[in-house]
Structure 1
């Protein structure tokens, strides 16, 4: 259950909302990287202190949209440089962080630098950052003194029924756990296929790729990110020219290729990009094109890693 009390905290005066609750004032929707941003962080910290919370759990993390051909992240490292290593180790669903790190994550989200996540402390406390500097803070107590302090900071805390980002309001995604049966089925696939391609989504819009064999399965499994989403595809094709020739005339694809050093990367491309794509992957040793459209993607298997107690808590 989410926390019982939820406040929507914004810099927007309720007097400047229309009859439907839409803000019609003149304040912009960007962080000022200054005193207003600091006020948001101070208010969240005050709510956390009132709820006796000094550590929070990262939930449903993601980074800026999937890499498109020729595209660049909005901010290098999605704003996470200095908080997490370049491979984002430690930034995953269920990871515990200090309140100080959690506040820096909120700062990144307020600035729209690319990374996002929910932050929770059991049923006691939760923070969701939405669009346009809308922040939702859930608490297991009413915190009237903190509400008053938030107003003193120049912000407007308004009680609401629930955060629109609350997990219980979302449609369930992947419900299959990568349990013992999943790994048994995967071993059976490898016995017949010899090699398959494993996509490991450690955060939304980012993936690590592994060519699985019976020989390396246990080692790859041991290194997977907790609560990762695992999707199994047919193996890469060593005939890269054939993969390029079979690309659809229209639409978008996710092109996965293996470099000569064994690293595997992916990029999204439209039909207009195919000529440049062919140049980009000229040195690839194997490749596979996956449809970019959800209803056209048909993996061999898909499941999320459960926790050590066997319970599936990841939200995908």
Structure 2
């Protein structure tokens, strides 16, 4: 990752803008931002000059043996690469109408949505972020009135819709802002309301994008899919 992008990600996390990730060169250097906006910087070498400069700027660096946000493997999830077999399965699912929407999570709490057809899948695949986490969802419905008619009266949902210009948007909403969400979706080209609870939102397919050599080096795992639960 280029340094300027890494610095911008740190700024976003320190400003509590939603996105979150660990920035690391394994066994060499690491930067973690805590939920409390504490900054953890780890290095394989002494950084006396950096410590002195931080103090000059009015900061208060403290020595720790380990970051509070050191990586720990996920207890749940599936080690499944977004390889040719995954994409062949996605082609089949889209072709038979079981799928039509792809969520691309490129850092924690930040994602992009892609509306899929058999003609666009390869283009979407080529544009995905490195090591992205993928979750497949049913297609958006062009019957927006029916989607809004199924709007729950309480709880939390994620509204996903495509506007008249072809852009896809998503908003997480609770019952306090359901009316506002419905107003935004009402003029959409197509839309869906997705549950936010893990046991209700199980993707038909899921995967994590491998590196160019086909190896998955991303630390996160794919969500459990319907096929996993059926085993």
TM over 0.5: yes
Contact 2:19/2:107 (CA < 8 Å) preserved in 1? Answer: no
Q: Which residue of 2 aligns with 1:45?
A: none
Q: Tell which has more relative contact order, 1 or 2 (C-alpha 8 A, sep 6+).
A: 1
Contact 2:21/2:108 (CA < 8 Å) preserved in 1? Answer: no
| C-alpha distance in 1 between matches for 2:86 and 2:117 | 15
RMSD: 2.8
The CA deviation at 1:273 is 3.0
Question: Structure 2 length as normaliser, TM-score?
Answer: 0.80
SS of 1:248's equivalent in the other structure is: coil
CA gap 1:217/1:160 in 2 versus in 1, 3 angstroms? same
The CA deviation at 1:238 is 1.5
Q: Which residue of 2 aligns with 1:253?
A: 157
Which structure would you say has the larger Rg?
A: 1
Unpaired segments ≥5 residues, structure 2: 221-231
Q: Which residue of 2 aligns with 1:43?
A: none
Q: Which residue of 2 aligns with 1:26?
A: none
| C-alpha distance in 1 between matches for 2:147 and 2:21 | 36
CA gap 1:287/1:105 in 2 versus in 1, 3 angstroms? closer
| C-alpha distance in 1 between matches for 2:51 and 2:168 | 52
| C-alpha distance in 2 between matches for 1:169 and 1:147 | 31
| C-alpha distance in 1 between matches for 2:68 and 2:126 | 36
Q: Which residue of 2 aligns with 1:97?
A: 2
| C-alpha distance in 1 between matches for 2:110 and 2:50 | 37
1:197 to 101, 111, 114: 101
1:139 to 25, 30, 43: 43
1:232 counterpart = 2:136: yes
Q: Which residue of 2 aligns with 1:149?
A: 52
Q: Which residue of 2 aligns with 1:127?
A: 31
| C-alpha distance in 2 between matches for 1:303 and 1:264 | 21
| C-alpha distance in 1 between matches for 2:77 and 2:178 | 32
Contact 1:260/1:284 (CA < 8 Å) preserved in 2? Answer: yes
After superposition, the C-alpha distances for 1:218-276 in whole angstroms (9 at most, x for unaligned) are 11111112111111111111211111111223211111112222222111222343333
| C-alpha distance in 1 between matches for 2:47 and 2:107 | 36
Q: Which residue of 2 aligns with 1:208?
A: 112
Contact 1:109/1:115 (CA < 8 Å) preserved in 2? Answer: yes
Contact 1:150/1:157 (CA < 8 Å) preserved in 2? Answer: no
SS of 2:212's equivalent in the other structure is: coil
| C-alpha distance in 1 between matches for 2:108 and 2:47 | 36
| C-alpha distance in 1 between matches for 2:55 and 2:172 | 47
| C-alpha distance in 1 between matches for 2:98 and 2:74 | 38
Unpaired segments ≥5 residues, structure 1: 1-95
After superposition, the C-alpha distances for 1:125-153 in whole angstroms (9 at most, x for unaligned) are 11222244533222223x27458736864
| C-alpha distance in 1 between matches for 2:48 and 2:129 | 40
CA gap 1:235/1:144 in 2 versus in 1, 3 angstroms? closer
